[in-house]
Amino acid sequence: MTIRPKQPAPPTEETPPPRRKKRPERRKPRYKGILWHR
């Protein structure tokens, strides 16, 4: 078994997050509004 150094993966980290992640962020502010209304 050869020990090879961990290869950096900048392209994977540079890719922007999926648009699905932005949906929950927009719902967060709405949740605070409901808590305030209570």
Q: How much is the mean pLDDT over the chain?
A: 62
Q: Model confidence at 2, in pLDDT bands (50, 70, 90)?
A: confident
Please tell me the distance from the alpha carbon of residue 18 to that of residue 24, in angstroms, as a whole number. 11
The answer to whether residue 24 scores a pLDDT higher than 70 is: no
The answer to whether residue 28 scores a pLDDT higher than 70 is: no
Residue 9: count of CB within 10 angstroms of its CB: 8
Amino acid identity of residue 9, one-letter, is: A
pLDDT in tens, 4-19: 777 666 665 556 666 6
Please tell me the distance from the alpha carbon of residue 17 to that of residue 23, in angstroms, as a whole number. 11
